[in-house]
Amino acid sequence: MHEYSVVSELVASLLPQLDSYPGKVITVYLKKGEMRILSDWALKNAFEIIAQGTRLDEASLEIEEVEARIRCPECGYTGKAEYLDDPAFHFVIPVLTCPRCGAEVDVLSGRELYIDRVSIESPEPSQNGT
């Protein structure tokens, strides 16, 4: 499954970064662009499997959607890619044209996929100040 390899890569690159932060990992926040055709359910499911036996074992994965925004080089339209709102689409089909003039547009956001931040429980409060 595509989601599995995606999460596997994200976790593999995250783990070394956590080395300098002791404490239990509570939540991993994933930023996911609207244009990414990935199932939240499958991502979370993959995370659970991949996290086993790592420091992320008991952590939960929170997925935060990033709104798709486009910019038209022809007419200057900047904004949300409106066709994405159509509830008839089960999956987003990125037709990258300007809703105002039909020109091809640049995508400003909506293709993100990265771990934004991680919440970690502070280690036991054993430090007694000064």
**Residue 20 beta carbon to Zn ion: minimum distance, rounded to whole angstroms:** 47
49 binds Zn ion (CB under 5 A): no
Q: How far is the CB of 100 from Zn ion (least distance, A)?
A: 5
Which stretch in 35-43, 49-57, 99-107, 122-130 sits in contact with Zn ion by CB under 5 A? Answer: 99-107
Q: Which of 77, 80, 107, 118 is in the footprint of Zn ion by CB under 5 A? A: 77
SS (H, E, C) the chain: CHHHHHHHHHHHHHHHHCCCCCCCEEEEEEEEECCCCCCHHHHHHHHHHHHCCCCCCCCEEEEEEECCEEECCCCCCEEECHHHHCCCCCCCCCCCECCCCCCECEEEECCCEEEEEEEECCCCCCCCCC
Binding site for Zn ion (CB under 5 A): 72, 74-75, 77, 98, 100-101, 103
